[in-house]
Structure 1
Amino acid sequence: MSEYFNQGQRQLQETFETMPLADRLQAGIIAPEINPLDAEFIEAQNMFFLATVDDKGQANCSYKGGQKGLVKVVDPTTLAFPIYDGNGMFMSAGNVLVNGQVGLLFVDFNKQARVRVNGVASITQNDPLLSHWPEAVLVVRVAVRETFPNCPRYIHKMALVEESAFVPKAQCATPDAPWKKLEIVADVLPPKDAHLASNEQDVLAAINRN
């Protein structure tokens, strides 16, 4: 019997009579490193979902967006990606500092395909790859524990309309985030953003929720 699955997973596999199937899939598709096909898939994406865990075991999931090549496959057992300017809370990056366990989900909605990567992350301000991504403030490296493709059955087919104008690009000025002009944060902006302080009131408009 495989030791890969935990007690809860085994309990449900037994309940729904899927244990032999689970064992076959675990042996056949879950790998300890990234193969060339998956590396090409990962580096072709302009976004991914990142799951992190804090020091209390509480999970957090974030959307990370950029240009194609947002995540770099350094080698078959290492991924790297940037942390850009955000809302100052550093939820994902802070979790990495106290608990490196991460899960990354890459989805190509046009092709209706996905790849999962789980591993242990580390983070630094002086990584040699920092200059690879314009305006990156940190670089996260992930030591791959496992990677595997996933059933595409429930992936909705969608096409990209346009990339966000706020994605940092080389030799291109990045627009300021509208929420930084809200009065509610005017007196607590970091020094680099202090010049943006204003008296805008519409919070929902600033985060596209209006």
Structure 2
Amino acid sequence: MTLPPPPFGSAGEHQLQQHFGTADRADRFYDQQVRRHLTHEMRDFIGRQAMVFLATADSRGECDASLRAGPPGFVHVIDANTLAYPEFRGNGVMASAGNMLENPHLGMLFVDFTHHHVGLHINGAARLYHDGDLRRIHPGLPTDVAPGRSPEMWVHLTVEEAYIHCSKHIPHLVPAPRPTGRDVTRPRDSDYFTKPRTAPAHWPDPP
């Protein structure tokens, strides 16, 4: 006998829905918006995105939020149930990937700030792979995700649920090229939040 899939939403969600009287509204959202796989439209949306926000937690439930960015399509959709993205050399802390070793649950949020002002939540189970190991399983992985850089590993996600983040409070951002050269008034990254400095009387207006 095939068991039905578990209901969407956590016990905490459902407890608060009962408390605030939103259970019927939430059920409509689960029914109309939440999917256990990536629809064609979701897959196309992911292929256009140049960044994604990540949510992870360790085995004690202590959380971390992070950001990954790259050229559009750097998060590669393998199929309707699977996607992967590369991890490159960074500060060596590996907070997100380390959490995934302890707790495979990964939340991803893609946001289109520039055109349709809509977001896509994807939750699932993550597994880490060395570059060569994942390519043997999925030879269609992109080979030049970041020119001149090779992935240290890949994060492989098995999709458990995917759903919309509505446009109501997504701000509009205008794409612009990064300034060339270093702004001498800006502290270096390594000093930005750790070295005392005198704040300017006001932030300069953008050019």
Query: Is this contact kept in 2: 1:130–1:137, CA < 8 A?
Result: no
User: In the alignment, does 2:189 pair up with 1:206?
Assistant: yes
Residue identity matched to 2:154: V
The correspondence of residues 120-139 of structure 1 with structure 2, limited to 5 A, is 120-125=125-130, 126=132, 127-128=134-135, 129=141, 131-134=143-146, 135=149, 136-139=151-154
Q: Could you list the per-position Cα deviations for residues 35-74 of structure 1 after superposition, in whole angstroms to 9, with x for gaps in the alignment?
A: 1111010110000001111122111110111111110110
Once the 2 structures are TM-superposed, how far is the Cα of residue 105 of structure 1 from its aligned partner?
A: 0.2
CA RMSD of aligned residues (A): 2.5
Query: Is this contact kept in 2: 1:50–1:103, CA < 8 A?
Result: yes
Q: Please give the alpha-carbon distance, in whole angstroms, between the structure 2 residues aligned to 1:40 and 1:208.
A: 39
* Compared CA separation, residues 75 and 65, structure 1 to 2 (3 A): same
Residue in structure 1 matched with residue 110 of structure 2 by the alignment: 106
Give the total of aligned pairs. 174
* Compared CA separation, residues 53 and 208, structure 1 to 2 (3 A): same
Residue identity matched to 1:6: S
Query: Is this contact kept in 1: 2:71–2:145, CA < 8 A?
Result: no
Q: Report which structure shows greater RCO (CA 8 Å, sep ≥6).
A: 2
Q: Could you list the per-position Cα deviations for residues 74-95 of structure 1 after superposition, in whole angstroms to 9, with x for gaps in the alignment?
A: 0000011000111100011111
Give 5+ residue unaligned stretches, structure 2: 1-5, 136-140, 198-207
Normalising by structure 2, what TM-score? 0.76
Once the 2 structures are TM-superposed, how far is the Cα of residue 28 of structure 1 from its aligned partner?
A: 1.3
Query: Is this contact kept in 2: 1:47–1:106, CA < 8 A?
Result: yes
Give 5+ residue unaligned stretches, structure 1: 166-177, 179-202
The correspondence of residues 85-96 of structure 1 with structure 2, limited to 5 A, is 85-96=89-100
Once the 2 structures are TM-superposed, how far is the Cα of residue 164 of structure 1 from its aligned partner?
A: 9.2
1:5 to 1, 9, 15: 9
> Alignment identity in percent?
31
Normalising by structure 1, what TM-score? 0.75
Query: Is this contact kept in 1: 2:70–2:145, CA < 8 A?
Result: no
Residue in structure 2 matched with residue 43 of structure 1 by the alignment: 47
Query: Is this contact kept in 2: 1:82–1:130, CA < 8 A?
Result: no
* Compared CA separation, residues 40 and 207, structure 1 to 2 (3 A): farther
Query: Is this contact kept in 2: 1:103–1:119, CA < 8 A?
Result: yes
Residue identity matched to 2:123: N
